[in-house]
Amino acid sequence: MPDIAVRPATPDDVPLVLAFIRELGKYEKLAHEVVATEELLAEHLFGPQPRAEALIAEWAGLPVGFALFFHNFSTFLGRPGLYLEDLFVRPSHRGRGVGRAMLRELARLAVQRRCGRMEWWVLDWNAPSIEFYRRLGAGPMSDWTVWRLTGEAMNKLADERR
Protein backbone atom coordinates (compact mmCIF):
# COMPACT_ATOMS: atom_id res chain seq x y z
CA MET A 1 0.00 0.00 0.00
CA PRO A 2 1.45 3.39 -0.94
CA ASP A 3 2.28 5.83 1.81
CA ILE A 4 -0.52 8.34 1.06
CA ALA A 5 -1.75 10.69 3.77
CA VAL A 6 -4.53 13.26 3.40
CA ARG A 7 -4.72 15.98 6.02
CA PRO A 8 -6.46 19.32 6.51
CA ALA A 9 -4.45 22.31 5.36
CA THR A 10 -3.12 24.65 8.04
CA PRO A 11 -2.28 28.36 7.85
CA ASP A 12 1.35 27.36 7.25
CA ASP A 13 0.22 25.61 4.05
CA VAL A 14 -1.07 28.79 2.36
CA PRO A 15 2.04 29.18 0.13
CA LEU A 16 1.77 25.50 -0.84
CA VAL A 17 -1.95 25.83 -1.65
CA LEU A 18 -1.19 28.83 -3.86
CA ALA A 19 1.57 26.89 -5.61
CA PHE A 20 -0.87 24.04 -6.30
CA ILE A 21 -3.46 26.52 -7.62
CA ARG A 22 -0.87 27.96 -10.00
CA GLU A 23 0.09 24.47 -11.19
CA LEU A 24 -3.58 23.64 -11.73
CA GLY A 25 -4.07 26.88 -13.68
CA LYS A 26 -1.19 25.95 -15.95
CA TYR A 27 -2.54 22.41 -16.47
CA GLU A 28 -6.02 23.75 -17.31
CA LYS A 29 -4.53 26.34 -19.69
CA LEU A 30 -5.97 29.08 -17.45
CA ALA A 31 -2.83 30.35 -15.72
CA HIS A 32 -3.67 33.89 -16.87
CA GLU A 33 -6.81 33.76 -14.69
CA VAL A 34 -5.01 32.92 -11.44
CA VAL A 35 -4.94 36.16 -9.46
CA ALA A 36 -5.17 34.62 -5.97
CA THR A 37 -2.61 35.76 -3.41
CA GLU A 38 -1.36 34.29 -0.16
CA GLU A 39 -3.15 37.08 1.69
CA LEU A 40 -6.51 36.31 0.05
CA LEU A 41 -6.15 32.58 0.66
CA ALA A 42 -5.16 33.10 4.30
CA GLU A 43 -8.20 35.34 4.83
CA HIS A 44 -10.72 33.06 3.15
CA LEU A 45 -9.36 29.72 4.36
CA PHE A 46 -8.30 30.65 7.90
CA GLY A 47 -9.65 34.14 8.71
CA PRO A 48 -12.51 35.07 11.04
CA GLN A 49 -15.12 33.85 8.53
CA PRO A 50 -13.57 30.97 6.57
CA ARG A 51 -15.27 30.48 3.19
CA ALA A 52 -13.51 27.28 2.11
CA GLU A 53 -11.34 24.44 3.35
CA ALA A 54 -8.42 22.60 1.83
CA LEU A 55 -6.86 19.18 2.09
CA ILE A 56 -3.23 18.37 1.38
CA ALA A 57 -2.24 14.97 -0.01
CA GLU A 58 1.21 13.70 0.85
CA TRP A 59 3.17 10.79 -0.58
CA ALA A 60 5.79 9.55 1.88
CA GLY A 61 5.60 12.97 3.57
CA LEU A 62 5.99 14.96 0.32
CA PRO A 63 3.06 17.25 -0.67
CA VAL A 64 1.78 16.02 -4.04
CA GLY A 65 -1.79 17.33 -4.30
CA PHE A 66 -4.60 19.36 -2.83
CA ALA A 67 -8.35 19.65 -2.79
CA LEU A 68 -10.20 22.88 -2.05
CA PHE A 69 -13.89 22.69 -1.14
CA PHE A 70 -16.77 24.46 0.57
CA HIS A 71 -20.36 23.81 1.50
CA ASN A 72 -23.34 24.77 -0.60
CA PHE A 73 -26.98 23.98 0.16
CA SER A 74 -29.68 21.98 -1.60
CA THR A 75 -33.15 23.39 -1.03
CA PHE A 76 -34.68 20.21 -2.48
CA LEU A 77 -32.76 17.97 -0.06
CA GLY A 78 -32.89 20.47 2.79
CA ARG A 79 -29.26 19.62 3.50
CA PRO A 80 -25.81 20.98 2.81
CA GLY A 81 -23.71 19.70 -0.04
CA LEU A 82 -19.98 19.56 -0.45
CA TYR A 83 -18.71 21.42 -3.50
CA LEU A 84 -15.23 20.50 -4.70
CA GLU A 85 -13.77 23.62 -6.31
CA ASP A 86 -10.37 22.16 -7.19
CA LEU A 87 -8.62 18.82 -7.07
CA PHE A 88 -5.03 18.60 -8.30
CA VAL A 89 -2.37 15.93 -8.17
CA ARG A 90 1.10 16.66 -9.50
CA PRO A 91 1.76 14.76 -12.75
CA SER A 92 4.54 12.70 -11.13
CA HIS A 93 2.00 11.14 -8.76
CA ARG A 94 -1.08 10.70 -10.95
CA GLY A 95 -2.41 7.18 -11.29
CA ARG A 96 -1.08 6.16 -7.87
CA GLY A 97 -4.27 6.54 -5.80
CA VAL A 98 -3.67 10.08 -4.54
CA GLY A 99 -6.78 11.58 -6.16
CA ARG A 100 -8.89 8.66 -4.97
CA ALA A 101 -7.56 9.11 -1.41
CA MET A 102 -8.54 12.80 -1.45
CA LEU A 103 -12.01 12.06 -2.83
CA ARG A 104 -12.46 9.30 -0.25
CA GLU A 105 -11.62 11.80 2.50
CA LEU A 106 -14.03 14.34 1.01
CA ALA A 107 -16.77 11.69 0.86
CA ARG A 108 -16.04 10.79 4.48
CA LEU A 109 -16.37 14.45 5.48
CA ALA A 110 -19.58 14.81 3.47
CA VAL A 111 -21.13 11.80 5.21
CA GLN A 112 -19.88 12.94 8.63
CA ARG A 113 -21.35 16.43 8.05
CA ARG A 114 -24.66 14.96 6.82
CA CYS A 115 -24.30 16.39 3.31
CA GLY A 116 -26.80 15.21 0.71
CA ARG A 117 -24.34 15.25 -2.19
CA MET A 118 -20.92 16.10 -3.53
CA GLU A 119 -20.51 18.11 -6.73
CA TRP A 120 -17.73 19.50 -8.91
CA TRP A 121 -17.06 20.66 -12.44
CA VAL A 122 -14.63 19.18 -14.91
CA LEU A 123 -13.47 20.69 -18.19
CA ASP A 124 -14.93 18.91 -21.23
CA TRP A 125 -11.47 18.22 -22.70
CA ASN A 126 -10.10 16.62 -19.52
CA ALA A 127 -10.69 12.99 -20.54
CA PRO A 128 -8.40 11.42 -17.90
CA SER A 129 -10.29 13.15 -15.08
CA ILE A 130 -13.68 12.37 -16.60
CA GLU A 131 -12.79 8.68 -16.79
CA PHE A 132 -11.44 8.74 -13.24
CA TYR A 133 -14.69 10.28 -11.94
CA ARG A 134 -16.80 7.75 -13.86
CA ARG A 135 -14.82 4.90 -12.27
CA LEU A 136 -15.74 6.33 -8.86
CA GLY A 137 -19.43 6.18 -9.77
CA ALA A 138 -19.93 9.89 -10.48
CA GLY A 139 -21.80 11.11 -13.54
CA PRO A 140 -22.28 14.37 -15.44
CA MET A 141 -25.35 16.55 -15.04
CA SER A 142 -25.80 17.11 -18.75
CA ASP A 143 -29.23 18.67 -18.37
CA TRP A 144 -27.84 21.73 -16.55
CA THR A 145 -25.88 24.69 -17.92
CA VAL A 146 -23.49 26.60 -15.69
CA TRP A 147 -24.02 30.36 -15.66
CA ARG A 148 -21.60 32.91 -14.30
CA LEU A 149 -21.72 36.62 -13.50
CA THR A 150 -18.35 38.26 -12.80
CA GLY A 151 -16.38 41.46 -13.01
CA GLU A 152 -17.99 44.53 -14.49
CA ALA A 153 -21.35 42.83 -15.12
CA MET A 154 -21.56 41.77 -11.47
CA ASN A 155 -20.54 45.24 -10.27
CA LYS A 156 -23.08 46.89 -12.58
CA LEU A 157 -25.90 44.69 -11.28
CA ALA A 158 -24.87 45.31 -7.66
CA ASP A 159 -24.91 49.08 -8.27
CA GLU A 160 -28.38 49.18 -9.88
CA ARG A 161 -30.87 51.45 -8.24
CA ARG A 162 -34.11 49.83 -7.18
To the query of whether residue 133 is one of the catalytic residues in this protein, the response is: yes
Question: 24 burial class (0-12, 13-18, 19+ CB within 10 angstroms)?
Answer: buried
Q: How many CA atoms lie within 13 A of 112 on its CB side?
A: 6
SS3 133: helix
According to DSSP, the residues that pair with 59 across neighbouring strands are 4, 62
Q: How far apart are CA 17 and CA 54, in angstroms?
A: 8
Catalytic residue, chosen from 67, 74, 133, 152, is 133
Alpha helices in the chain (DSSP H): 14-27, 38-46, 98-112, 127-136, 151-159
Question: Which active-site residues does the annotation give?
Answer: 133
